[in-house]
């Protein structure tokens, strides 16, 4: 993600609190993580699923980029589950 300005949706804040994921964790994932899925048809802005790590903890962040507003909008944040993701957390289980 390219923008320094982060905007957190209420849903993201709720999930971060529930899952003990900090704003610093989210910033770290967005700055060092890897885009593993693109959602170009999301509205009002295309979004991405980003995988990053905090130590040995994997974290997924779904975020959209508002080019006009020069901001990254954090939609949700979670720790991926091996029952739904393949090892490495880059691909969904079939």
Close Cβ partners of 21 (under 8 Å, ≥ 6 residues apart): 15, 59, 77, 78, 79
Q: Domains plus CATH for the chain?
A: 6-78 (3.30.2310)
| Residue 26 near residue 52, CB atoms below 8 Å | no
Digit-coded pLDDT (tens) for 27-52: 999 999 999 999 999 999 999 999 99
Digit-coded pLDDT (tens) for 65-77: 998 889 999 999 9
User: Which tokens is 86 given?
Assistant: 């393949």
């Amino acid at each position: 993600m390219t923008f320094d300005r982060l905007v957190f949706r209420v849903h993201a804040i709720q999930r971060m609190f529930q899952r003990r994921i900090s704003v610093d964790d989210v910033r770290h994932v967005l700055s060092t993580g890897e885009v593993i899925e693109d959602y170009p048809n999301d509205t009002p802005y295309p979004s991405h699923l980003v995988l990053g790590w905090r130590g040995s903890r994997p974290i997924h962040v779904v975020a959209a980029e508002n080019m006009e507003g020069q901001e990254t909008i954090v939609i949700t944040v979670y720790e991926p589950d091996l029952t739904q993701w393949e090892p490495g957390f880059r691909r969904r289980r079939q």
